[in-house]
Chains A and B, each alone.
Chain A
Amino acid sequence: MDKDFEILDISGDVGIRVFGENLEKLFINAARGLYNLITENSNIHSSKAVDINVYAESLDGLLVGWLNELIFQFDTYGFLGRDIEIKNLTENRIEATVFGEEFDPEKHEKGLLIKAATYHNLKIEKQNGLWSVEVIFDI
């Protein structure tokens, strides 16, 4: 697979289809897909680190919780991530450090204001060794 994620064409809201050779990559690529909707990824620099720790009752819930935490970090503190280091990932928990910087309207493109990740049609799948998932966001 040459793509980490692609934008889904749906009416009303917006979504991403994410791929990963393992679960860690899937979570990282989902985060990149999210940041790509908010701004141009290549303009983000890694000058600040934020630790993220999310617990959920299911793997699907964990992915939604992870993305919602990143949305919270952006919507509250303007934090945009670039590099992601996952320290621990199980069915119920993710511990990661996200490296990035604060949003600067002079420098960063203003893309979509994402309000939340949803469970709509969400299904994490593994086929022929490749993980994939579709995530729809509320905007």
Chain B
Amino acid sequence: MRDLVEVLFKEIPSGVGSKGRLRLSRTDQERLLLRGARWAVEQGYGEPEDLLYIESGGAIEGADPSLISEKAYERGRAQQGTLGSGNHFLEIQYVEEIYDERAAQVFGLFPEQVTLMIHTGSRGFGHQVCTDYLQVMESAVKKYGINLPDKELACAPFNSQEAQDYFAAMKAAANYAWANRQCIMHWCRVAFMKVLGASKTELGMHLIYDVAHNIAKVEQHTVDGKKRRLIVHRKGATRAFSAGHPEIPDRYRDIGQPVLIPGDMGRASYVLIGTEQAMKESFGSTCHGAGRVLSRHQAIKRAKGRAIWREMEDAGILVRSAGRKTLAEEMSEAYKDISSVVDVVERAGISKKVAKLRPLGVVKG
């Protein structure tokens, strides 16, 4: 396990100031923004089969690379294939408990199986797109005479040129994120093969699911008995579609969409499925993580004089991090107990537990 964590830490760039190993030309970048994880697979990062288990097949239609600023291209160039920092992570886990045998079987999960979870996104690229379009929205708010209660809010009517341009740019950022996770997943598989001396087939590291948890999408939902096309923005939430939804991969269609809810690095993470209730009550959404109880500053204060890595090692979890303070900020006590959080969403009926995953090795930025 120590070798594995070490190799993952070395092979996947993470933390402040890290650069990716990909050197992309402008044409590569544009293709990546259009084709997302499909681009990554075409480059040899992962298997065509992976794309079946990524939301929207790993690329949303309608991304427009011509609506991306030079700055965003520049900022995104060296960051493709990097983990980032903060709450982003790679985690080696094992299946500690199964709650839904049938769903677990369909997802390919069984007790004591080793799993890998990846949490990262569109990195500085997505943020630059946001920063660029906030300026566009600021002007749009004035142009369309919209009165906003808070300076932090920004908007434009969805059918306006400004909003449509942003939507196409946001889709490019989503595709950037899917490509990023696909590349990282590939390098993780290579790391496992290298350290364990096993072949791809022997390891059988199949992708269960890859889903965005900060994205706006046009979807059809039933509101007051009528079917309507809506823009659903999930932020701090993740998609949880119920069985039968056409967006769910064929293999999972009768079960429901896999929902991944990571907890903190010391306790647990969960796999759940979306429910009919979520379709009715939360536009097919559920919570996306544990949520903090301590601010970063409070966490650092509480960790003073303690060796968080050693505490975790004593609990059987090996951890590596790029930043000196990251482990203190991300320690278990800084988060709500994910098991209680997941019980709440299950009792609310908006997702149903399938399996509990316990961390064994963690890489943080």
Contacts and interface: CB of A to CB of B under 8 A. Distances in A.
Contacts of A12: 292, 295
A120 B295 contact: no
A131 interface: no
A7 B297 contact: yes
Given A11-B294, A119-B152, A138-B127, A76 B75 contact: yes
A110 interface: yes
A117 to B, nearest CB: 9
Of the four ranges (under 10, 10 to 19, 20 to 34, 35 or more), the interface on chain B belongs to 35 or more
B17 A9 contact: no
A112 B128 contact: no
Contacts of B18: 105
A38 interface: yes
Contacts of A39: 16
A48 interface: no
Contacts of B325: 111-112
Interface string B109-149: 00000000000000010011011000000110000000000
Interface string A103-139: 1010011111101101111100000000000000011
Given A110-B322, A119-B151, 6 more contacts: A11-B293, A14-B296, A57-B138, A72-B75, A76-B75, A115-B124
Interface of A: 7, 9-12, 14, 38-39, 57, 60-61, 68, 72, 74-76, 78, 103, 105, 108-113, 115-116, 118-122, 138-139
Interface of B: 15-18, 71, 74-75, 77-79, 84-86, 124, 127-128, 130-131, 138-139, 151-152, 292-298, 322-326, 365
